[in-house]
């Protein structure tokens, strides 16, 4: 049977699937048309995967959407190959699309599986071990046999550390990078799970406390000052537990009172995301204002003055001496001079205690590691000043 028709790409397939062609569905290609006319006479029709086009003997047929094509010839094996050829092209696209979708979905499954392998945090509130409202009253922190690693397959970062930070005294923690200073503070806030050992604050094992009960009784001024989008008031006191008078008093103590009063909104002045409309020094003073407002018995300074100028550093040190004299202050020192006025100094080396004594006695011993660190810091500081 000889057939001649004018069809679009999406009609060729359905046309060639007809068992019998009726003469009333035949249309003739206009003479002089620029579209394609193909004559098939018992030809072998195949599909070229490399060019994604139909091939008849040595002739490539490329059919585009909306293109008018006239197919003439014996409707036999040729129609089967044309049909499968077009179907194969669409099938390839469908398979590739589904493979991409499958890969995306498998990533989600992988993330879900990873989360199922993470150990759950302890219960937030443990009724039977909630501490008294006055805890901690003295602020003595005792570390006993601490062993810490960040993953089961990793080596120990703290290796059996045992020491006591006396209550209402200032203790400075020093050591080279990787000695375990920050890890010790993370353990105090129960951020990393202990491999062995225990931490006692005023005689209570902190591992039996709910995390909110523990962390709400401690204060910290971090290395990177953190502010949130909102207002000055919400950044100082997000839980709305203190009056505006108390907030203003805390701002005056950290030398930010005049700066806030100059702003149009006062305590309701806008704070952009990450506190970008405040300088780094001002952000650090806001963190100081938080701890002044809360006035916890145990205060941690995690290299709090590392990113501020000397004037701001001196201001923070004076404020701490004045308002936290009866608190336990634990300082991780970036500038070694910031711990020289501490009551005790703890020198860590590779997760172990190398020295633990008053800075005066350690400096008197010229061969002590702490004395050598002070000399190194002084030489570097003088060298930088000379340049």
Q: What is the pLDDT of residue 50?
A: 52
Instruction: Considering only residues 85 and 59, tell me which one the structure prediction assigns the higher pLDDT.
Output: 85
Query: Can you say how many angstroms the Cα of residue 313 is from the centroid of all Cα atoms in its chain?
Result: 28
As beta bridge partners, residue 347 has: 174, 355
| Cα separation, 28 vs 125, whole angstroms | 84
Which pLDDT tens digit goes with each residue over 365-376? Answer: 888 989 988 888
Q: Judging by beta carbons within 10 Å of its beta carbon (0-12, 13-18, 19+), is residue 55 exposed, middle or buried?
A: middle
Segment 116-144 shows an average pLDDT of: 83
Highest mean pLDDT, choosing among 2-6, 32-36, 62-66: 62-66
Q: Is the pLDDT of residue 3 over 60?
A: no
DSSP 169: -
Q: What is the pLDDT of residue 226?
A: 84
Q: What is the pLDDT of residue 20?
A: 44
Q: Is the pLDDT of residue 69 over 60?
A: no
Alpha-carbon Rg of the chain, whole angstroms?
38
Q: Is the pLDDT of residue 87 over 50?
A: yes
| Cα separation, 201 vs 135, whole angstroms | 9
Handedness of CA 7, 11, 16, 21 (dihedral sign): negative
> Which of 33, 59, 31 lies closest to 44, judged by CA?
59
Question: Tokens standing for 198?
Answer: 């225990």
| Cα separation, 223 vs 227, whole angstroms | 13
Segment 135-152 shows an average pLDDT of: 92
Q: Is the omega angle on the peptide bond into residue 136 within 30 degrees of 0, that is, cis?
A: yes
Instruction: Considering only residues 25 and 72, tell me which one the structure prediction assigns the higher pLDDT.
Output: 72
Segment 42-59 shows an average pLDDT of: 47
All domains of the chain in start order, with CATH: 32-69 (no CATH), 141-225+294-385 (3.40.50.300), 228-277 (no CATH)
Q: What is the pTM of this model?
A: 0.67
Q: What is the pLDDT of residue 56?
A: 46
Who contacts 55 (Cβ-Cβ below 8 Å, separation ≥6)? 45, 46, 47, 48, 61
The DSSP line for 126-142 is -GGGPPPTT-SSS--EE
40 neighbors 2 (Cβ within 8 angstroms) = no
Placement of tokens 């193909």 in the chain:
38
Segment 145-151 shows an average pLDDT of: 91
Question: Tokens standing for 53?
Answer: 């086009």
Question: Tokens standing for 168?
Answer: 């209402």
Which pLDDT tens digit goes with each residue over 310-335? Answer: 777 788 888 888 888 889 999 988 77
Which pLDDT tens digit goes with each residue over 152-204? Answer: 889 999 999 999 999 999 999 998 888 889 899 999 999 888 889 999 999 99
CA angle 209, 210, 216 (to 5 degrees): 100
Who contacts 69 (Cβ-Cβ below 8 Å, separation ≥6)? 6, 7, 12, 35, 36, 37, 38, 63
Q: Is the pLDDT of residue 293 over 80?
A: yes
For residue 2, name the pLDDT band (cuts at 50, 70, 90): very low
Mean pLDDT of all residues belonging to the chain: 78
83 neighbors 13 (Cβ within 8 angstroms) = yes
Q: What is the pLDDT of residue 263?
A: 84
């Amino acid at each position: 049977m000889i057939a001649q028709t004018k069809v679009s790409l999406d009609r060729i397939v359905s046309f060639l699937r007809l068992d019998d062609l009726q003469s009333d569905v035949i249309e003739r290609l206009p003479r002089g048309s620029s579209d394609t006319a193909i004559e098939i006479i018992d030809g072998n029709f195949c599909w070229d995967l490399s060019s994604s086009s139909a091939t008849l003997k040595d002739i490539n047929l490329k059919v585009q959407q909306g293109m008018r094509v006239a197919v003439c010839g014996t409707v036999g094996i040729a129609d089967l190959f044309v049909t499968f050829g077009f179907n194969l092209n669409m099938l390839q696209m469908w398979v590739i699309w589904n493979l991409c979708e499958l890969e995306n979905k498998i990533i989600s499954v992988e993330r879900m599986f990873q989360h199922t392998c993470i150990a759950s945090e302890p219960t937030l509130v443990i009724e039977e071990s909630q501490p008294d409202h006055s805890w901690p009253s003295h602020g003595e922190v005792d570390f006993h046999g601490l062993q810490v690693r960040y993953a089961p397959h990793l080596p120990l970062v703290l290796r059996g550390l045992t020491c006591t930070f006396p209550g209402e005294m200032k203790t400075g923690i020093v050591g080279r990078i990787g000695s375990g200073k920050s890890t010790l503070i993370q353990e105090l806030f129960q951020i990393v799970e202990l491999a062995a050992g225990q931490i006692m604050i005023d005689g209570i094992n902190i591992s039996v406390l709910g995390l909110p009960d523990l962390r709400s009784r401690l204060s910290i001024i971090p290395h990177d000052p953190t502010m949130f989008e909102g207002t000055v008031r919400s950044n100082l006191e997000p839980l709305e537990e203190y009056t505006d008078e108390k907030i203003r008093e805390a701002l005056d103590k950290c030398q930010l009172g005049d700066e806030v009063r100059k702003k149009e909104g006062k305590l309701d002045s806008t704070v952009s995301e990450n506190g970008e409309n405040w300088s780094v020094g001002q952000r650090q003073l806001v963190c100081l204002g938080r701890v002044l407002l809360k006035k916890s018995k145990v205060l941690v300074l995690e290299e709090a003055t590392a990113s501020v100028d000397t004037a701001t550093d001196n201001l923070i040190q004076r404020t701490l001496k004045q308002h936290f004299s009866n608190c336990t202050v634990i300082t991780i020192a970036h500038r070694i001079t910031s711990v020289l006025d501490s009551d005790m100094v703890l020198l860590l080396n590779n997760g172990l205690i190398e020295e633990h004594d008053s800075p005066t006695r350690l400096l008197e011993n010229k061969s002590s590691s702490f004395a050598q660190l002070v000399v190194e810091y002084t030489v570097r500081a003088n060298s930088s000043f000379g340049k």
